[in-house]
């Protein structure tokens, strides 16, 4: 099956009770046992499993090409679960440019618990190799990275990590399986903030882990999911499943808009830099073209004139919405340093752009007038 068909097919629900084409939402937290105590449909209590969550988790596995999918209450809950699968004194290699919550989780929570970590420029393979310690158990990849769109050679890093006996996890939120397939490139786990493209409409919070193999790591994560309890509600699972149905269409159209916008911005004299993976000027363009089928719908720009100029640009937009987050149908622009707060390492003149589904001419015209 082609990916579009797979998406519709894997999110389909077969309703034994009413032959409904769209799934019902199972709000029940508890499930009845048979007189002999057996559990006819496999569900006991909703924190451990729920029909809506099961449907979503099965679709995740199919769409990322893994053996096991797991749904969480947020992207952060998914990330925390992976770190909790490790043991105190284990060492993690993380990108120096990444979603700010990933290193913040390590710094504020996991390091107190005894996890060690090193931040590395993940576009530099030699730097990654040099960062390995005897106790390195996990390499975290985020490509393209947030907010500077750095590109990591996923296959090379996965091979290196495997040789050193470490797991590789790729935060695939920005690319989605429509454009990039980390498990096919050798990663052990693909992680998502489903809050973004999977949900696609900026109206739910959820996270995902998809494991290449149903092995010890997946088993431990399943245990932490049920015991730690950071699970999504049945309604949020239902919403993500609905969002997934249009994922390929949305991502391709948003990507097409983004590519045109990046092209326009790349020659604008008021900008110092435009970070978009498929621009010829991007330092990672060759690796990006090797592992992504298109450049995605995220970009960031650095404005000449520093922070004040960036803030001024942002204040003038009329079509773009000034808000954090990404992956929804509406185009968003934000000053990343403001959003990240104390943990920010982002350049002060950087604005991050999530390109939505508006007409490309309106998006270009909006930034054109704001840049004047």
Q: Can you give the binding site for ligand PLP, defined by CB under 6 A?
A: 74-76, 99, 101, 142, 146, 171, 173-174, 193, 195-196, 205, 207, 326
Tell me how far apart the alpha carbons of residues 245 and 55 are, in angstroms, rounded to a whole number.
13
Shortest approach of ligand PLP to residue 326 CB, angstroms?
6
Burial of 6 per CB tally in 10 Å (0-12, 13-18, 19+):
middle
**C-beta of 52 vs 146, nearer to ligand PLP:** 146
Backbone angles phi, psi at 322, to 5 degrees: -80, 95
List the catalytic residue out of 171, 188, 236, 366: 171
Pairing outcome for strands 136-142 and 167-171: parallel
For residue 45, indicate whether it is catalytic.
no
**C-beta of 154 vs 309, nearer to ligand PLP:** 154
For residue 47, indicate whether it is catalytic.
yes
Q: Which of 100, 101, 92, 146 is CA-nearest to residue 119? A: 92
Backbone angles phi, psi at 207, to 5 degrees: -140, 165
For residue 171, indicate whether it is catalytic.
yes
Q: Return the residue nearest ligand PLP (CB atom).
A: 75
Shortest approach of ligand PLP to residue 98 CB, angstroms?
7
> Residue 155 in 3-state DSSP?
helix
Burial of 229 per CB tally in 10 Å (0-12, 13-18, 19+):
exposed
**C-beta of 247 vs 326, nearer to ligand PLP:** 326
**C-beta of 76 vs 225, nearer to ligand PLP:** 76
CB 91 within 8 A of CB 166: no
List the catalytic residue out of 13, 47, 96, 124: 47
List the catalytic residue out of 60, 99, 100, 117: 99
Residue in the block written with tokens 């006996």: 165
List the catalytic residue out of 196, 212, 250, 352: 196
Shortest approach of ligand PLP to residue 224 CB, angstroms?
16
Shortest approach of ligand PLP to residue 284 CB, angstroms?
16
**C-beta of 101 vs 186, nearer to ligand PLP:** 101
Shortest approach of ligand PLP to residue 35 CB, angstroms?
42
Residue in the block written with tokens 């975290």: 140
Shortest approach of ligand PLP to residue 206 CB, angstroms?
7
First to last CA, the chain: 48
- Backbone φ/ψ region at 55: left (φ over 0), alpha (ψ -120 to 50), beta: alpha
**C-beta of 31 vs 99, nearer to ligand PLP:** 99
Residue in the block written with tokens 């508890």: 30
CB 25 within 8 A of CB 238: yes
Active-site residue set:
47, 99, 171, 196
């Amino acid at each position: 099956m082609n990916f579009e068909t797979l998406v519709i097919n894997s999110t389909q629900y077969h309703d034994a009770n009413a032959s409904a084409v769209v799934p019902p939402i199972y709000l029940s937290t508890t499930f009845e046992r048979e007189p002999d105590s057996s559990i006819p449909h496999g569900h006991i209590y909703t924190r451990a499993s729920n029909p809506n969550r099961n449907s979503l988790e099965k679709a995740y596995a199919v769409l990322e090409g893994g053996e096991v999918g797991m749904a969480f209450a947020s992207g952060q809950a998914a990330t925390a679960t992976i770190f909790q699968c490790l043991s105190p004194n284990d060492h993690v290699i993380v990108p120096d440019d990444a979603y700010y919550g990933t290193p913040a989780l390590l710094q504020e929570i996991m390091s107190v618990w005894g996890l060690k970590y090193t931040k590395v420029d993940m576009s530099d393979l030699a730097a990654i190799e040099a960062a390995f310690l005897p106790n390195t158990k996990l390499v975290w990849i985020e490509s393209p990275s947030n907010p500077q769109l750095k590109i990591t050679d996923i296959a090379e890093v996965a091979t290196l990590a495997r040789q050193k006996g470490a797991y590789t996890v790729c935060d695939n939120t920005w690319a989605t399986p429509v454009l990039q397939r980390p498990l096919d490139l050798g990663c052990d786990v693909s992680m998502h903030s489903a809050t973004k493209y999977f949900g696609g409409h900026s109206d739910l919070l959820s996270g995902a882990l998809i494991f290449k193999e149903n092995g010890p790591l997946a088993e431990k994560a399943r245990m932490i999911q049920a015991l730690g309890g950071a699970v999504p509600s049945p309604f949020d699972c239902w919403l993500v499943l609905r969002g997934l149905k249009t994922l390929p269409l949305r991502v391709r159209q948003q990507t097409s808009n983004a590519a045109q916008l990046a092209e326009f911005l790349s020659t604008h004299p008021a900008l110092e830099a435009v970070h978009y993976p498929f621009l010829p000027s991007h330092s990672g363009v060759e690796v990006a073209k090797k592992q992504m089928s298109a450049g995605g719908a995220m970009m960031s720009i650095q404005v000449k004139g520093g922070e004040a100029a960036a803030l001024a640009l942002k204040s003038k937009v009329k079509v773009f919405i000034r808000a954090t987050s990404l992956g929804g149908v509406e185009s968003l622009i934000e000053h990343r340093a403001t959003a990240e707060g104390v943990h920010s390492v982002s350049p002060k003149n950087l604005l991050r752009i999530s390109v939505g589904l508006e007409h490309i001419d309106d998006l270009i015209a909006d930034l054109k007038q704001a840049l004047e």
